[in-house]
């Protein structure tokens, strides 16, 4: 067995030219408590299937990067003990034979190696707020890999104007899905205008095909706003983020620990309403990604 394997169902689907959607495992391992995380992981896969595509949840299992884990492995991830792995962490995880949940960058990298064209997630990483402005490897990985990522924009805890500017600098095509603005994760609007928009899966697939035909191998970000009925009040979100950032600064939290710390703090500040919104937007992204994958497979 090599360092990367593709699950049997996913391998068969790819071989038959069927639609496949990659899913990350960090949300399951680090984003929600058990058993809520397992329920969301299963619901995400079900949402992809409901649109006619095959889900491929990615994780490192005992040192093997696995694209398309089975139900038993999904529960293992949900029960804990999995470290968080970005793309750069995959080789050490393989060498040490550890268990790791994949972030956006690691999932995009592994999915592209397997030949998967579409990936659904809640929100990508980006440029963090503050003078340091740490930049997530999600952005550089997306710039390099031939994959389309469907998300509700970038996580709201980030510096969204600088994140959008970085995406443009890196040559990542950002498509608003039924919107002219970059979504702000928990809310539908950020005030940041996008240059390109599509209104359905067929339109997104047409743009992705044109990009391929031009020989552009970089990634595409489909910015898919949270459904209206699930969006949070912008003032509530802003207050929660400010309190979370203040708490992180006082606690000296940085690096990989920062995002889960902030998301947990925001959940406390919003009375868990952010968790419900997060679940809703993830499932919405899975449905849209499934439709786009099906449209691409029909070419």
Strands 118-120 and 20-23: parallel
Rounded (10°) CA dihedral 219, 287, 189, 40: -100
Q: Which helix H or strand E contains 119, and what residues bound it?
A: strand 118-120
Please give the DSSP secondary-structure letter assigned to residue 226. P
Structure tokens at 244: 């979370």
Q: Residue 55's CB: how many other CB atoms inside 10 A?
A: 26
Task: Measure the CA–CA gap between 274 and 268, rounded to whole angstroms.
Answer: 9
Could you give the residue numbers annotated as active site? 24, 155
Rounded (10°) CA dihedral 71, 19, 286, 174: 140
Structure tokens at 260: 């889960």
Enumerate the β-bridge partners of residue 54.
20
Task: Measure the CA–CA gap between 203 and 198, rounded to whole angstroms.
Answer: 5
For 168-215, give the secondary structure using H, E and C.
HHHCCEEEEECCCECCECCECCCCCECCEEECCHHHHHHHHHHHHHCC
String of b and e for 154-173 (b: at least 16 CB within 10 Å)?
A: bbbbbbbebbbebbeeeebb
Helical residues (DSSP H) of the chain, grouped into ranges:
8-15, 26, 36-50, 71-79, 90-96, 104-114, 137-144, 160-170, 201-213, 234-251, 258-269, 273-297
Helix (H, G, I), strand (E, B) or coil at 221: strand
């Amino acid at each position: 067995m090599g360092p990367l394997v593709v699950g049997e169902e996913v391998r068969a689907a790819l071989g038959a030219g069927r639609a496949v959607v990659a899913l990350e495992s960090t949300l399951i391992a680090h984003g929600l408590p058990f058993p809520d995380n397992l329920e969301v992981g299963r619901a995400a896969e079900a949402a992809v299937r409901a649109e006619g595509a095959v889900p491929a949840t990615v994780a490192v299992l005992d040192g093997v990067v696995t694209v398309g884990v089975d139900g038993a492995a999904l529960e293992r991830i949900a029960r804990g003990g999995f470290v968080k792995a970005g793309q750069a962490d995959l080789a050490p995880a393989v060498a040490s034979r550890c268990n790791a949940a994949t972030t956006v960058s690691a999932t995009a990298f592994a999915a592209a190696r397997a030949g998967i064209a579409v990936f659904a997630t809640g929100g990508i990483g980006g440029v963090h707020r503050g003078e340091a402005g740490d930049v997530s490897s999600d952005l550089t990985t997306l710039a390099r890999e031939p994959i389309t990522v469907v998300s509700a924009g970038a996580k709201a805890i980030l510096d969204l104007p600088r994140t959008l500017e970085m995406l443009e600098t890196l040559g990542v095509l950002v498509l608003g899905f039924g919107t002219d603005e970059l979504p702000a994760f928990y809310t539908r609007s950020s005030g940041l205008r996008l240059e390109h928009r599509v209104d359905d899966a067929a339109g997104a697939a047409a743009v992705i095909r044109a990009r391929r035909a031009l020989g552009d191998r970089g990634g595409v970000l489909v910015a898919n706003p949270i459904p209206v009925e699930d969006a949070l009040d912008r003032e509530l979100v802003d207050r929660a983020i400010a309190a979370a950032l203040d708490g992180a600064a006082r606690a000296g939290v940085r690096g990989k620990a920062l995002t889960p710390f902030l998301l947990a703090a925001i959940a406390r500040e919003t009375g868990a309403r952010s968790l419900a919104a997060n679940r809703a937007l993830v499932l919405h992204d899975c449905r849209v990604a499934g439709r786009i994958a099906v449209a691409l497979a029909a070419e």
